[in-house]
Every structure is written in C-alpha cells, then in structure tokens.
Amino acid sequence: MKDFDNYLKLYEQVHETHRYEGNGIWSRFSIMISLNVILLGLLAFSQNQGLLIVVCIVGVLFSLLAIRALNRLWKWHSHWCDTLKEMEQHFPIDFPKPFSTTPKSLNNSKRWFRPTQPFLFVLCLMWFALFILTIIGVLPVNSNNQY
C-alpha cells in the first residue's frame, strides 16, 4: 500500500506539471496578443512608410514566433497528459481515471494545429497583408499637413 501512496504522490506531481504547462500556454498566448495590439497601435499612429514596414515585419515575426513557441508548449502539455494516462493504467479498476476516460471526440491527436494557433496564423496573415499593402503604397501614411 505504501508503494501505491508513493505512486499517487508521483501522479500528483505529474498532474501539477501538466497544469503548469497549460497555464503557461495561456499566459504566453496573452502576451503575444498584447504585443500584437501594441504593434497595431504603432501602425495606427505611424508617420512614415519606413515605420509601417518595420511594424509589419515585426508583427509577422512575432506571430511566427508565437506559433512556434505555443506549438512547443502544446507538445509538452500533450506529453504530460499522455504520461498521466499511462500512469492511470496502473490504478485499481474501481479507481477514478480522469485522463484515461476522456471522450474520444476530445482526444483527436491527429490535428496539425492546437486551439491557439489558428488565431495566431490569422494575425500572421494580417501582418503580411499589411506589409504588402504598405510596400505597394495602398495604405496611406498619416501626415500632419492641415488643409
């Protein structure tokens, strides 16, 4: 019985790590969204085309960085979830197994994206489109000239 108690303590530590990774995903997602909002503010008040181009390039780079970083975090989150499922296989039959009894509709691991990534992909496309529009001169640059 003492071995099972130690096993439950290990399970609790793995579960806490799983929760920590999940919290990390959403905190980094919030940071990336905040950075994009700041860049949009810079874009709105930019006075020359050079600054517009720099802001758009930085927006594309931030979005790609966010997609990469969050993908890595989602992989760690999935790893800890899989570890919890494996550990639950050693539980007694009547013991609750919250990670092993996940409905199949929620357990689709064949997706190429995670919940945060379509949003960041759209942001990346938006920054790229703004970059192209700035280069070809469609976006007007704010001027201080009064008529």
Burial 106-129 (b: 16+ CB within 10 A, else e): eeeeeeeebebbebbeebbebbbe
Listed in sequence order, the residues at least 6 apart from 98 whose beta carbon sits closer than 8 Å to its beta carbon are: 88
Residue range(s) defining the domain that contains residue 43? 2-103+111-135
Report the C-alpha gap between 105 and 27 in whole angstroms.
26
143 in any annotated domain: no
73 in any annotated domain: yes
Q: For 90-111, write each residue's pLDDT tens digit.
A: 777 777 677 766 666 655 555 5
Identify the pLDDT of residue 146: 47
- Please, what are the averages of pLDDT over each run of 10 residues along the chain (147 residues)? 79 86 86 87 81 87 86 86 84 73 59 64 82 72 50
Identify the pLDDT of residue 147: 41
Answer for the pair 46, 142: CB distance below 8 angstroms, yes or no: yes
Answer for the pair 92, 73: CB distance below 8 angstroms, yes or no: no
- Looking at the 3D structure of the chain, how many domains does it have? 1
Identify the pLDDT of residue 102: 60
130 in any annotated domain: yes
38 in any annotated domain: yes
146 in any annotated domain: no
142 in any annotated domain: no
Give the predicted TM-score (pTM) of the model.
Answer: 0.65
